[in-house]
Structure 1
Amino acid sequence: MTLVRLSGGLDLDTMRTVHTVLDGCLTRQPDALVVDLADTTVRNRLALSVFAATARRAAGWPAVPLVLCAPPPEAASWLAQSTACRVVPVRRDYAEAARAASAAAVPRLRERLEPVAEACRRARELVGDACARWRLPEAAGPASLVLSELVGNVVRHAGTPMQVTLTLRRPYLHLAVADGSGVPARIGSPDPRAEGGRGLMLVRAVAQRWGSAPAGHGKVVWATLPAI
Structure 2
Amino acid sequence: MASDSPHLIGWTGDALDDSVLAVIDQDTAVIEVTLYGPWDRPLSWRARTVLDKCLAEHPAGMIVDLHRLDDPSAVSAPLWLTLCAQGAAMQPPIAIGVCLPAPVPLARRLRQLGARDWLVMYASVHQARSALAHRRPLVDRMHLALPPDPAAAALARSLVSDACLDWDLAHLLQPARLVASELVVNAAEHAGTDIEMVVSPRGEGATAGLHLAVFDGDPALPQVRDPEPGPLGPSLTTRGLGLRIVGAAASAWGALPARGGKLVWAILRNRPEVPSYDH
TM-score under structure 1 length normalisation: 0.66
Q: 2:106, 2:225 → 1: CA distance?
A: 43
| Cα drift, residue 128 of structure 1 | 1.8
Identity level (%): 33
Question: What is the aligned residue count?
Answer: 217
Unpaired segments ≥5 residues, structure 1 = none
Match 1:47 to one of 76, 82, 106: 76
Cα pair distance change 1:174/1:91, threshold 3 Å: same
Aligned alpha-carbon RMSD (Å): 4.8
State the partner residue of 1:90: 120
Q: Does 1:218 align with 2:261?
A: yes
Q: 2:190, 2:147 → 1: CA distance?
A: 13
Match 1:102 to one of 126, 130, 135: 135
State the partner residue of 2:244: 201
| Cα drift, residue 148 of structure 1 | 0.8
Higher relative contact order (CA 8 A, sep 6+): 2
Helix, strand or coil for the counterpart of 2:185? helix
Q: 2:253, 2:266 → 1: CA distance?
A: 4
* 1:1-228 paired onto structure 2 within 5 Å: 1=28, 12=39, 31-34=60-63, 43-48=72-77, 51=80, 64-68=94-98, 72=102, 78-79=109-110, 88-90=118-120, 98=131, 102-103=135-136, 105-170=138-203, 171=207, 172-181=209-218, 182-191=220-229, 193-196=234-237, 197=239, 198-216=241-259, 218-226=261-269
Helix, strand or coil for the counterpart of 2:247? helix
| Cα drift, residue 75 of structure 1 | 5.1
* 1:65 maps to amino acid: A
- The answer to whether the 8 A contact 1:30-1:64 is kept is yes
Unpaired segments ≥5 residues, structure 2 = 1-27, 272-279
TM-score under structure 2 length normalisation: 0.56
Cα pair distance change 1:200/1:99, threshold 3 Å: closer
Deviations 1:130-176 (A, max 9, x none): 22332211112211110111101112222111221223221332212
Cα pair distance change 1:89/1:54, threshold 3 Å: closer
Deviations 1:67-99 (A, max 9, x none): 34797387566336659x79953278969x937
Q: Higher helix proportion, which one?
A: 1
Deviations 1:178-212 (A, max 9, x none): 22221523242233713232222211111112223
Helix, strand or coil for the counterpart of 1:46? coil
Q: 2:88, 2:200 → 1: CA distance?
A: 12
- The answer to whether the 8 A contact 2:215-2:261 is kept is yes
Q: 1:86, 1:10 → 2: CA distance?
A: 26
